[in-house]
Structure 1
Amino acid sequence: RVSKDNPAVADPASEEEIIRIPQPFWNHNGGTIAFGPDGYLYIALGDGGSGNDPMGNGQNLTTLLGSILRIDVDHKDAGLNYAIPKDNPFIGREVPAGPRGKMLPARAEIYAYGVRNIWRMSFDSASGLLWAADVGQNLWEEINIIQKGGNYGWNVREGKHWFRPDGNDAPRPELIDPVFEYAHDIGKSITGGTVYRGTAVPELVGRYLYADYVTGRLWALDYDVTAAKVKANYSLTGENLPVMSFGSDEKGEVYFTTPFGSLYRFKSDK
């Protein structure tokens, strides 16, 4: 627990394990947690790692891997250190996941699924929309706006493009396209950011800030939510800044970090 009077003070004895999720491989273990405007905790989990999602976790609703979870950490259900919100989309649903298509219960914690390795997600403080950046495998990096119950395609697709290692390219109209993607000739490991709602840089207001860890580039995505289309994608720097994470303060100003121990913030050059 953190002191309500001083956020720099915490009580280490108050630590409590909320949930433990076994991981089959060393990578794609989890990319972010965030509290939503509804007060629930959202947890982004990768597909469990290795390559190609060999266990098919991204499309398997009976496992927590490859999903975004939504849980209530202020209450506890029987046998759990958290409660499951009553309006989670997969409560009571069964899916064919067992031997010979046996129906098994979907995990009620799941809010959305079909993700590979979300590396940072955040809520827009103005609209409440949940933005998530999903690191690609071979060819594409993607940005998604997460919808309740949404299937974001992995490992059927990478970005908007068919990926299936088994070659099955049957139509899947339920899969949700990313709002933006870029190929690996531009960058190879997306770092998700946040929608800028500060005042220090007026020209960035309402734009989604993100970066690529490998190329060290930063961008501001101008996306029209109503029209569901990208208006522009502005490059902010040509410097090699391998951004690991973004954050924002109570005034909406945005900061980011690199592996070199520096903390940066956005400011106007006007």
Structure 2
Amino acid sequence: MSIFTSPARLICASLLLAAPLSAQILRTELVASGFVRPILVTAPPGDANRIFVVEQNSGLIRIIKNGVTLSTPFLDLGSKISTNGERGLLGLAFHPDYANNGRFFVNFTNPSGSTKVNEYAVSADPDVALQAKVAVIQLISQPFSNHNGGCIAFGGDDKLYIGMGDGGSGNDPGNRAQDLGERLGKMLRLDVDIPPPYVPADNPFVGQTGVREEIWAYGIRNPWRFSFDSLTGDLYIGDVGQNAWEEIDFQPASSPGGENYGWRCMEGFNCTGNSGCTCNDAALTLPIHEYGHNLGCSVTGGIVYRGPISALGGTYFFGDYCSARIWSFRYDGTNMTEFKNRTSELDPPGSDIINDISSFGEDGVGNLYIVDYADGQIFRITSDCDVNNYCGTTPNSAGPGAIMGSSGSLSLADNSFGLTSSGGAPGQFGYFIFGDQPVSIPTADGVRCVGGNIFRLLPPQTIDGSGNVFNPLDFNTPPFNGAGQVFAGTTYYFQHWYRDKTGGPAGSNFSDGLQVTFCL
């Protein structure tokens, strides 16, 4: 009779698909440095070898290729931009079919201070763009030097979205964010695959007199970084507040557009006292999250993680430029869960410090990056590796008890990890078990340290004459390449169960436990 009463005992060799999010251990690693006021990291869809870094004041777009920053810039717009205050080169977006058509788009302020969105194309050299523009997509006058927005991105509908600030100064003196005859204080939506003026027929204000048909949503102060969930198509907007509140706005992929996010009569969930709309009107779309200026002063909108750390999938990361705090949460369109302050966890090792978070970025395979504006550094979020014994062992017929160990690398890519147990009962058979929770429950003649969903690695193995047993794990074979896939950044709990006929009344025992967090 097995000591395990769970139905899981029927599964000979499988593994829990994902342990709780709280078990993850994340860290940041420095990818590159030496940039001058970087404000964005991005990559063409599916590009696994390059990331593109946008420098605000130099007007350069530079490439990090296979970990090396190329000396020749991808594009130099230095002579075409203004760089006073919040102005400069502010945005970059690659066409969804960039691999075939080489088209990309940039957002910058021109020498007169107006916002300009231009189309460019790559040259015969994939690491260098043609310097002449292909087309002017938008030209928008700016009344002040601040609140230029600047972020551009393609949605899951292959349309180009442009985030426009309210024109600047303070408290939106022209009430532009609520004026549908203005493009300022709006999210614009364009189809760059049709002729000018690029307005999709299904934009919410098409055909209305006195309204700019490019408008997709309005009531926005300064959308400093928005992004689309690459899996669901949902839109997240980080909208910078006035004097007291920062906010994250949300739009589901199913939305037909037309949302009013409430600026200038609302800042976060709070009434400003300004006219232009009615505070807390049912027609307004309120944020899904706000935070006060005790925690920062300028939100940097982030990205929903869809990269190689599978257990992080669906987690939205964002931060604050002033305080360099980093947070994450999950949102299902109705409820926010797993809100977490990640600042300490993502503090780089050594003497590096992440300051002035100007952007979060994503490469072609979903890795997430943090841009340090002040220090000119680019960091990547990755999972940490860790292995520790826990729970303690119990004496057996051979001595003080069996102890778990491991060999090889904790990197899943290396695929050299193995489990060991020493100090067991020589000549007896046993097998390794694992699960998603640590426990300490007296079982048989020992203590079971693995809980939650418990599974076994079979077939059983015989403990050698010295009390040792070894089980190499191959993550490319069953069960690990199927139902039992192991995820980087997630912690699992291992233990060895073995027969010990003369060690106690139950005739079986356990080693101590081994807590393992795998990394990429």
> After TM superposition, is the score higher than 0.5?
yes
TM-score (norm 1): 0.88
CA shift at 1:14, angstroms?
3.6
- Bigger shift: residues 170-179 or 205-214: 170-179
Secondary structure, in 3 states, of the residue corresponding to 2:342?
A: strand
Distance 1:35 1:2 in 2: 16
Question: Which of the residues 337, 343, 355 maps onto 1:241?
Answer: 355
- Contiguous gaps of at least 5 residues in structure 1: 95-104
Partner of 1:11: 130
Secondary structure, in 3 states, of the residue corresponding to 1:12?
A: coil
The C-alpha deviation readout for 1:175-210, integer Å capped at 9, x for no partner, is 0011111111111100011000012x3442211111
Distance 1:145 1:230 in 2: 12
Counterpart of 2:368 in structure 1: which amino acid?
Answer: V
Secondary structure, in 3 states, of the residue corresponding to 1:18?
A: strand
Considering only CA atoms, is the larger Rg found in Structure 1 or Structure 2? Answer: 2
Identity of aligned residues (%): 45
1:189·1:212 contact (CA, 8 Å) conserved in 2? yes
Question: Which of the residues 318, 332, 335 maps onto 1:210?
Answer: 318
Query: After the TM superposition, which residues 33-44 of structure 1 pair with which residues of structure 2 at under 5 Å, given as runs?
Result: 33-44=152-163
Question: Which of the residues 265, 280, 284 maps onto 1:156?
Answer: 265
Residue 267 in structure 1 maps to residue 267 in structure 2: no
1:204·1:220 contact (CA, 8 Å) conserved in 2? no
Query: After the TM superposition, which residues 60-75 of structure 1 pair with which residues of structure 2 at under 5 Å, given as runs?
Result: 60-75=179-194
Distance 1:188 1:182 in 2: 9
Root-mean-square deviation over aligned CA pairs: 1.9
Query: After the TM superposition, which residues 130-149 of structure 1 pair with which residues of structure 2 at under 5 Å, given as runs?
Result: 130-146=235-251, 147=255, 148-149=257-258
Cα 1:167–1:197 change in 2 (3 A) is closer
Query: After the TM superposition, which residues 1-270 of structure 1 pair with which residues of structure 2 at under 5 Å, given as runs?
Result: 1-3=120-122, 7-77=126-196, 82-94=197-209, 105-146=210-251, 147=255, 148-166=257-275, 172-199=281-308, 201-225=309-333, 228-238=334-344, 239=347, 240-259=354-373, 260-270=375-385
Cα 1:191–1:6 change in 2 (3 A) is farther
Cα 1:167–1:9 change in 2 (3 A) is closer
Runs of 4+ in structure 1 displaced over 4 angstroms? Answer: 4-7, 166-171
The C-alpha deviation readout for 1:98-134, integer Å capped at 9, x for no partner, is xxxxxxx111000000000000011101000111100
Counterpart of 1:53 in structure 2: which amino acid?
Answer: D
Counterpart of 1:177 in structure 2: which amino acid?
Answer: L
1:31·1:117 contact (CA, 8 Å) conserved in 2? no
CA shift at 1:168, angstroms?
8.0
1:90·1:107 contact (CA, 8 Å) conserved in 2? yes
Cα 1:194–1:4 change in 2 (3 A) is farther
CA shift at 1:232, angstroms?
2.7
1:221·1:233 contact (CA, 8 Å) conserved in 2? yes
Distance 2:279 2:194 in 1: 42
The C-alpha deviation readout for 1:13-48, integer Å capped at 9, x for no partner, is 244322110011110012300011212110000000
Distance 1:167 1:19 in 2: 26
- Contiguous gaps of at least 5 residues in structure 2: 1-119, 348-353, 386-520
Which of the pair has the greater relative contact order for Cα pairs under 8 Å at 6+ separation? 2
TM-score (norm 2): 0.47
Distance 1:246 1:4 in 2: 27
Counterpart of 1:247 in structure 2: which amino acid?
Answer: G
- Bigger shift: residues 216-225 or 47-56: 216-225
Q: How many residues align?
A: 253
1:217·1:241 contact (CA, 8 Å) conserved in 2? no
Partner of 1:98: none
Counterpart of 1:174 in structure 2: which amino acid?
Answer: A
